[in-house]
Amino acid sequence: MLNRSRLNSKKESKTEAVQAVMSDRLEKENIHIGPSDYVPWQKDNKVAFIRMEGKLFGDVPMNLEMRLSVEDSPNSAGVSIDAIRCCKLALNAKKGGILYSPSAYFMKHPPKQYTDDEAYRMTENFIAGKRAD
Protein backbone atom coordinates (compact mmCIF):
# COMPACT_ATOMS: atom_id res chain seq x y z
CA MET A 1 0.00 0.00 0.00
CA LEU A 2 3.04 2.25 0.06
CA ASN A 3 3.15 2.07 -3.74
CA ARG A 4 0.53 4.67 -4.74
CA SER A 5 0.43 3.49 -8.36
CA ARG A 6 -1.00 0.14 -7.19
CA LEU A 7 -3.95 1.72 -5.37
CA ASN A 8 -6.00 2.29 -8.54
CA SER A 9 -5.50 -1.26 -9.86
CA LYS A 10 -6.35 -2.74 -6.44
CA LYS A 11 -9.49 -0.59 -6.23
CA GLU A 12 -10.54 -1.72 -9.71
CA SER A 13 -9.98 -5.44 -9.01
CA LYS A 14 -11.77 -5.33 -5.64
CA THR A 15 -14.73 -3.39 -7.06
CA GLU A 16 -15.05 -5.75 -10.04
CA ALA A 17 -14.95 -8.79 -7.73
CA VAL A 18 -18.03 -7.46 -5.91
CA GLN A 19 -19.84 -6.18 -9.00
CA ALA A 20 -19.42 -9.57 -10.70
CA VAL A 21 -21.48 -11.42 -8.09
CA MET A 22 -24.37 -8.96 -8.09
CA SER A 23 -27.44 -9.57 -10.22
CA ASP A 24 -27.46 -5.88 -11.20
CA ARG A 25 -24.30 -3.79 -11.31
CA LEU A 26 -24.32 -0.69 -9.13
CA GLU A 27 -23.67 2.74 -10.61
CA LYS A 28 -20.16 4.04 -9.85
CA GLU A 29 -21.50 6.68 -7.44
CA ASN A 30 -23.21 3.95 -5.37
CA ILE A 31 -20.21 1.72 -4.70
CA HIS A 32 -16.82 2.31 -3.11
CA ILE A 33 -14.46 -0.59 -2.58
CA GLY A 34 -10.74 -0.40 -2.28
CA PRO A 35 -7.68 0.06 -0.17
CA SER A 36 -7.20 3.22 1.79
CA ASP A 37 -3.62 3.34 3.00
CA TYR A 38 -0.85 1.50 4.79
CA VAL A 39 -1.18 1.94 8.55
CA PRO A 40 2.10 0.97 10.28
CA TRP A 41 0.61 0.09 13.69
CA GLN A 42 -1.81 -2.37 12.01
CA LYS A 43 1.21 -4.48 10.97
CA ASP A 44 -0.16 -7.61 9.22
CA ASN A 45 -3.77 -6.94 10.19
CA LYS A 46 -6.32 -5.87 7.60
CA VAL A 47 -9.50 -4.07 8.64
CA ALA A 48 -12.55 -3.64 6.45
CA PHE A 49 -15.52 -1.42 7.16
CA ILE A 50 -18.61 -2.55 5.30
CA ARG A 51 -21.76 -0.48 4.90
CA MET A 52 -24.83 -1.56 2.98
CA GLU A 53 -28.04 0.35 2.42
CA GLY A 54 -31.30 -1.12 1.25
CA LYS A 55 -35.05 -1.27 1.63
CA LEU A 56 -37.07 -3.75 3.65
CA PHE A 57 -40.72 -4.73 3.42
CA GLY A 58 -42.90 -1.68 2.90
CA ASP A 59 -39.98 0.27 1.45
CA VAL A 60 -38.55 0.83 4.96
CA PRO A 61 -34.89 1.99 4.79
CA MET A 62 -32.26 -0.34 6.24
CA ASN A 63 -28.56 0.27 6.97
CA LEU A 64 -26.05 -2.41 7.93
CA GLU A 65 -22.54 -1.58 9.15
CA MET A 66 -19.86 -4.19 9.92
CA ARG A 67 -16.18 -4.23 10.84
CA LEU A 68 -13.99 -7.14 9.72
CA SER A 69 -10.48 -7.63 11.06
CA VAL A 70 -8.18 -10.39 9.81
CA GLU A 71 -4.48 -11.29 9.76
CA ASP A 72 -3.60 -10.62 6.12
CA SER A 73 -0.58 -12.74 5.16
CA PRO A 74 -2.14 -16.22 5.57
CA ASN A 75 -5.43 -14.97 4.10
CA SER A 76 -4.73 -16.12 0.55
CA ALA A 77 -2.59 -19.20 1.26
CA GLY A 78 -5.35 -21.75 0.66
CA VAL A 79 -6.50 -20.05 -2.53
CA SER A 80 -2.92 -19.86 -3.83
CA ILE A 81 -2.31 -23.54 -3.11
CA ASP A 82 -5.52 -24.56 -4.88
CA ALA A 83 -4.63 -22.37 -7.89
CA ILE A 84 -1.20 -24.03 -8.07
CA ARG A 85 -2.86 -27.45 -7.91
CA CYS A 86 -5.02 -26.51 -10.91
CA CYS A 87 -1.89 -25.41 -12.78
CA LYS A 88 -0.35 -28.82 -12.06
CA LEU A 89 -3.49 -30.54 -13.37
CA ALA A 90 -3.22 -28.46 -16.56
CA LEU A 91 0.45 -29.36 -16.95
CA ASN A 92 -0.33 -33.05 -16.50
CA ALA A 93 -3.09 -32.77 -19.12
CA LYS A 94 -0.69 -30.90 -21.47
CA LYS A 95 -2.91 -27.79 -21.42
CA GLY A 96 -1.39 -24.37 -21.78
CA GLY A 97 -2.53 -20.77 -21.82
CA ILE A 98 -5.11 -19.12 -19.58
CA LEU A 99 -7.07 -21.39 -17.25
CA TYR A 100 -10.35 -19.50 -17.35
CA SER A 101 -12.30 -21.67 -14.90
CA PRO A 102 -9.78 -21.68 -12.04
CA SER A 103 -8.94 -18.01 -12.70
CA ALA A 104 -12.62 -17.08 -12.44
CA TYR A 105 -12.95 -18.98 -9.17
CA PHE A 106 -9.67 -18.10 -7.42
CA MET A 107 -8.84 -14.57 -8.59
CA LYS A 108 -10.50 -11.24 -7.79
CA HIS A 109 -10.22 -9.87 -11.32
CA PRO A 110 -9.85 -12.79 -13.76
CA PRO A 111 -9.52 -12.46 -17.54
CA LYS A 112 -13.11 -13.66 -17.92
CA GLN A 113 -15.60 -13.03 -15.10
CA TYR A 114 -18.34 -15.48 -14.08
CA THR A 115 -20.67 -15.57 -11.10
CA ASP A 116 -19.30 -17.40 -8.04
CA ASP A 117 -21.68 -20.32 -8.65
CA GLU A 118 -20.66 -20.66 -12.30
CA ALA A 119 -16.96 -20.33 -11.53
CA TYR A 120 -17.21 -22.95 -8.76
CA ARG A 121 -19.03 -25.43 -11.02
CA MET A 122 -16.61 -24.84 -13.90
CA THR A 123 -13.60 -25.30 -11.61
CA GLU A 124 -15.01 -28.53 -10.16
CA ASN A 125 -15.50 -29.80 -13.74
CA PHE A 126 -11.95 -28.72 -14.62
CA ILE A 127 -10.55 -30.60 -11.60
CA ALA A 128 -12.58 -33.70 -12.50
CA GLY A 129 -11.32 -33.48 -16.09
CA LYS A 130 -14.88 -33.24 -17.40
CA ARG A 131 -14.43 -30.14 -19.51
CA ALA A 132 -11.60 -28.49 -21.39
CA ASP A 133 -10.73 -25.05 -20.13
User: What is the CATH number for 60?
Assistant: 3.30.360
41 plus 93 within the same structural domain:
no
Per-residue pLDDT of the chain (133 residues; tens, 9 = 90+): 566 777 778 888 888 888 888 889 999 888 888 777 778 888 888 888 889 899 999 999 999 999 999 998 888 889 999 999 999 999 999 998 999 999 999 998 899 988 888 999 999 999 999 866 7
**Shared-domain flag, residues 67 and 28:** yes
115 shares its domain with 79 = yes
Task: Tell me the three state secondary structure of residue 24.
Answer: coil
Residue 108 lies in a domain: yes
Based on the fold, state whether residues 106 and 118 are members of the same structural domain: yes
pLDDT for 22: 83
| pTM of this structure | 0.66
Q: How far apart are CA 113 and CA 41, in angstroms?
A: 36
Query: Do 64 and 9 sit in the same domain of this protein?
Result: yes
The parent domain of residue 124 ranges over 75-128
Is-contact 105 119, C-beta < 8 A?
yes
Please indicate, yes or no, whether residues 87 and 64 belong to a single structural domain of this protein: no
Query: Are 67 and 83 found together in one domain?
Result: no
Pair 80, 62 in one domain: no
Q: Cβ distance 63 to 56 under 8 Å?
A: no
